[in-house]
């Protein structure tokens, strides 16, 4: 018999965790969000270093595949270290919403503070790792290529890609909550991070930091393109996370609770 919890049990656990997230003070939120930015940059650096090392010997596709596997460590760091990544907040705190304006204002604060500090934290680390000689040879060229690829999407493609990216990371959140062991949580986080990179899906924090890294190594990307992608990716990530995962998993949880104690507060309140 499987040890995995039922959907309504996962829902109840996520609701309690969501309420705890919404009650955190600004210092804890800002610090956790800075750390998530660091984690993402470590993953992008791993991606570039592995890609640069393998591409000359095994070709571009093998380099990209291995680099994507290496990038997965970023989401392992985030999941195990409990840092605060913007796209992890499309399910847990939404489910944890209470009735009344105060809870909704806390969610808005979370959605504003976490992406800003994700990018600020990542940029601080970028300024350090892009100092001459810090990264291995070839990593800079790989980072330029990654950044230019992200900048090459037209707005419609970027938005569609961002929907998938938001759905994927929100699904990761649900699966991690339902994982019975730390090892399973690590595996889920690693798979999700790797798949995000293999598919080159537009994730507002990951792609923004990739573009900044590329610019630091000479990629001719206008800053207006970076800002444009932030808006498009954030909107697409939000839509993918809420519409394709949060709503459907809530419905699954309500359906699986039949014959059990009812979900106390029902589905998440409308934001």
The span from the CA of 99 to the CA of 24, in Å, is 18
Q: What is the mean pLDDT of residues 22-48?
A: 96
- In Å, how far are 29, 158, 257 from 237, measured between CA atoms? 20, 10, 29
Q: What DSSP state is assigned to residue 88?
A: G
Residue 193: Cβ within 10 Å count: 31
User: Which residue would you say has higher pLDDT here, 258 or 181?
Assistant: 181
What is the pLDDT, as a whole number, of residue 259?
53
pLDDT band at 111 (very low <50, low <70, confident <90, very high): very high
Q: What average pLDDT does this structure show over 223-233?
A: 97
Length, in residues, of the chain:
271
Using CA atoms of 27, 32, 37, 42 in order, give the dihedral in degrees to the nearest 10.
140
- Residue 93 in this model has a pLDDT that exceeds 90: yes
Listed residue (196, 250, 181, 183) closest to 85, CA to CA: 196
pLDDT of 81 reads 93
Domain spans in the chain, listed from the N-terminal domain onward: 7-256
Instruction: Please say whether the beta carbons of 37 and 213 come within 8 A.
Output: no
Average pLDDT across the chain, whole number = 92
Is 3 a residue whose pLDDT tops 80? Answer: no
User: Which position has the higher pLDDT, 4 or 82?
Assistant: 82
User: Which CATH number describes the domain made up of 7-256?
Assistant: 1.20.1080.10
Confidence of residue 239 (pLDDT cuts 50, 70, 90): very high
**Predicted local distance difference test score (pLDDT) of residue 196:** 98
Q: How confident is the model at residue 160 (pLDDT cuts 50, 70, 90)?
A: very high
Question: Is the predicted pLDDT of residue 109 greater than 80, yes or no?
Answer: yes
Angle at which helices 223-241 and 139-151 pack, to 10 degrees? Answer: 70
Does residue 180 or residue 162 have the better pLDDT?
162
pLDDT of residue 66: 98
pTM, whole model, 2 decimals?
0.92
Cα–Cα distance, 187 to 3 (Å, whole number): 17
Q: Which residues have a Cβ under 8 Å from the Cβ of 261 and sit 6 or more positions away?
A: none
């Amino acid at each position: 018999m499987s040890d995995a919890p039922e959907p309504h049990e996962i829902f109840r656990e996520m609701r309690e965790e969501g309420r705890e997230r919404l009650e955190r003070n600004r210092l804890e939120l800002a610090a956790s969000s800075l750390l998530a930015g660091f984690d993402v940059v470590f993953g992008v650096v791993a991606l570039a270093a592995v890609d640069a090392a393998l591409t000359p010997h095994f070709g571009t596709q093998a380099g990209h595949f291995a680099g994507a596997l290496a990038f997965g460590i970023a989401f392992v760091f985030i999941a195990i270290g409990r840092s605060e990544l913007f796209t992890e907040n499309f399910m847990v705190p939404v489910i944890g919403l209470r009735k009344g304006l105060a809870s909704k204002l806390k969610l808005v604060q979370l959605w504003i503070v976490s992406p800003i500090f994700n990018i600020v934290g990542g940029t601080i680390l970028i300024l350090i790792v892009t100092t001459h000689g810090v990264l291995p040879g070839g990593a800079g060229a790989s980072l330029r290529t990654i950044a230019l690829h992200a900048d090459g999407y037209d707005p419609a493609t970027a938005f569609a890609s961002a929907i998938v990216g938001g759905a994927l990371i929100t699904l990761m959140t649900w699966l991690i909550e339902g994982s019975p062991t730390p090892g399973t949580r690590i595996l889920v986080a690693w798979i999700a991070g790797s798949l995000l990179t293999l598919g080159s899906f537009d994730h507002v924090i990951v792609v923004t930091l990739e573009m900044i890294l590329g610019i630091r190594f000479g990629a001719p990307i206008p800053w207006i393109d970076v800002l444009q992608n932030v808006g498009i990716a954030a909107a697409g990530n939000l839509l993918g996370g809420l519409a394709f995962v949060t709503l459907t998993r809530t419905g699954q949880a309500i359906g699986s609770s039949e014959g059990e104690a009812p979900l106390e507060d029902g589905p998440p309140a409308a934001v």
